[in-house]
Chains A and B, each alone.
Chain A
């Protein structure tokens, strides 16, 4: 049976338990159960998004009538995992790379497993990574942040200095401008992790950039800042001073803990609602100037080529967008007809999301979805649409509207305006085709 073979393969591919951890009896139990196959194994594989068929048997469920190992024997002690990790049954919930996209993993991107997450907060360990010279490892004691240029007094801060400024907590999405960029020519990748996973949403703790700039004293001629990273790519972007003074943060925490190395530890720039490349990681320098610097990432990259041969530059804002995360190709609708939960994410660089509509028939008829959880400025919003599935084919789409009244466009509307070579800022409506057997695929529709 192919299904069981796949499961067995999954089990052997799981990483081994951390060294020093006692061999839990449930590990051997899992192996045994998998060898036996059947519905019990499928139940254990819930993390695989391969849910068990509903139990309709009239025979008593041995999971209830028999004492299970975890019910009898002791689990791990409090010193088993000083830094906690997800359950081993969640081993598939990881960032994934698309190897053919880039030349080397040290200048590449991976993708957030959106299909396996819920709520609005992205766990730190699965926030997608994009870096241009590998993830730098920097001792915070050896990190410096310099502000200079058109300022009254150029300054150098240590991390300890930064921690003495007033700080704030804000939840923001960070979306790469190239998110969904592989889909401009048509449906290409089977999974919302790959089509929409260049995004994450965390709570940042940091110092308003305005306070740091005011400490140095920006001269009246200052109109732009250049932000630079300390990594091997020396990442740089020009940012208008108005934005820098408005809502940008110099952040050192994400979801309450220190930034992960791959997210710019010990300190990064937060540029709410604007393309992720501007959120310079390993931030070491802020220069104030009177013009933009026309750096590599704002000229040769992150400019949007149009069919005329002209290219838009400084396309900073991330437009209103949404995607259904379940079901999706990596998370098929395996439970059969009956009560069904469709869920997904919506966001806009212009502010909050006011409404999300869901269609089951490829856009002929739409239904208002239910937004649940905090509705925060420039943050992911979680939506749900619950219905009774009759088991027939579905063409699922979601359509978001933000508080400014912008409505997520169709991919074809974007292509009409921009052609197929602009790479960035593809916020078009995504279609998933759900077959009667629940298998779900990335498609485009008439």
Chain B
């Protein structure tokens, strides 16, 4: 009978460190990851130095502390026009979502419901993510076509749709951006999966007579019948 170490209870703060501690002997034993490749003195001399203009062109990410925000400004009213023209066909005039495209507004106080509605206002922790994502990936199919001012205006309008600002004349800019906090910011926690009781169970699990009664089927996928391509029929 093989013996296994008990599952390690990992705290939120230590989970990451423990992961690496545990991984090390494995990698060393196999030589995986640790390739044994010795870097030559002075390096490989490959590639060339990136130019400042090149870094500026690609470095468009923005952090919650405002790092990366470009100069610019835009109002709720300006954003409404831009949103209607560029975004509403998928997200709806009021961010309510068309078909299965993402809902952007509403859903406040639904996170503990049976069917939570996760929107910018109800779920997203940081406004910087909205600016960053709209600028890099929207409009869908024509990414990176909006000006920085356009993105400020659309972001302002999304705040308005989520009742985080209420004045149509509100202007969002680099100067006031980090003053705004989204309502759900405090509800994100670090990964504490390994505190769950099932991970602490004996790592030599039951092999015989593990359940007192014969096992019964409690739920069947066939009832729902949502499997595509008639796969359910093909096996009849």
Interface residues of A (CB under 8 A from B): 2, 6, 96-103, 106-107, 132-133, 146-149, 153-158, 161, 164-166, 168, 170, 186-191, 194, 208, 211, 214-215, 226, 228, 232-234, 236, 240, 242-243, 246-247, 272, 284-285, 287, 289, 291, 293-296, 299-300, 303, 305, 307-317, 319, 329-330, 332, 350-352, 354-355, 357, 361-366, 376-377, 395, 399, 401, 403-407, 409-410, 413-414, 416-418, 421, 425, 433, 439-446
Contacts and interface: CB of A to CB of B under 8 A. Distances in A.
B32 A155 contact: no
Contact of A404 (B8, B58, B101, B197): B8
Contacts of B132: 236, 293, 295-296
Given A156-B47, A236-B136, A350-B19, A300 B187 contact: no
A99 B209 contact: no
B226 A186 contact: no
A441 B205 contact: no
Interface stretch (B80-88, B162-170, B228-236): B228-236
Interface string B188-212: 1111110011110101011111110
A107 B48 CA distance: 35
B140 A404 contact: no
How many residues of B sit at the interface, in one of the four size bands?
A: 35 or more
Nearest to A92: B234
A341 to B, nearest CB: 18
Contact of B198 (A291, A293, A409): A409
A445 B215 contact: yes
A354 B1 CA distance: 12
A439 B235 contact: yes
Contacts of B33: 170, 208, 246-247, 272, 377
Contacts of A226: 61
Contact of A405 (B4, B32, B44, B208): B4
Interface in B16-52: 16, 19-20, 22-23, 26-27, 30, 32-35, 37, 39, 43-44, 46-50
A314 B65 CA distance: 19
A104 B191 CA distance: 31
A148 B55 contact: yes
Q: Name which of B27, B140, B206 has the most chain A CB atoms within 10 A of its CB.
A: B140
19 contacts: A146-B50, A147-B50, A156-B48, A170-B32, A190-B221, A190-B232, A215-B46, A243-B20, A246-B23, A247-B27, A289-B63, A294-B64, A299-B124, A299-B125, A299-B126, A365-B207, A377-B26, A404-B7, A445-B218
A444 to B, nearest CB: 4
B199 A406 contact: yes
A440 B220 CA distance: 11
A442 B221 contact: yes
Contact of B112 (A106, A168, A296, A307): A307
A311 B50 contact: no
A444 B218 CA distance: 5
A96 B61 contact: no
Contacts of A191: 227, 231
A316 B30 CA distance: 23
A103 B141 CA distance: 14
Contacts of B231: 190-191, 194, 329-330
A445 B207 contact: no
A402 B132 CA distance: 39
B59 A287 contact: yes
Nearest to A319: B193
A299 B129 contact: yes
Contacts of A99: 228
Given A272-B33, A287-B61, A440-B235, A312 B23 contact: no
Q: Name which of B48, B120, B187, B228 has the most chain A CB atoms within 10 A of its CB.
A: B228
Given A208-B33, A247-B32, A299-B126, A215 B44 contact: yes
A338 B191 CA distance: 47
* 4 closest cross-chain pairs (CB), A and B: A362-B215, A247-B33, A234-B136, A442-B221
A317 B220 contact: no
Contacts of B227: 189-191, 194, 329
Interface string B116-145: 101010011110110011001100110110
Nearest to B57: A146
A187 B116 contact: no
Contact of B222 (A305, A330, A441): A441
B215 A133 contact: no
Nearest to A439: B235
Contacts of A361: 214-215
A188 to B, nearest CB: 6
Nearest to B136: A234
Nearest to B134: A296
Contact of A214 (B27, B43, B233): B43
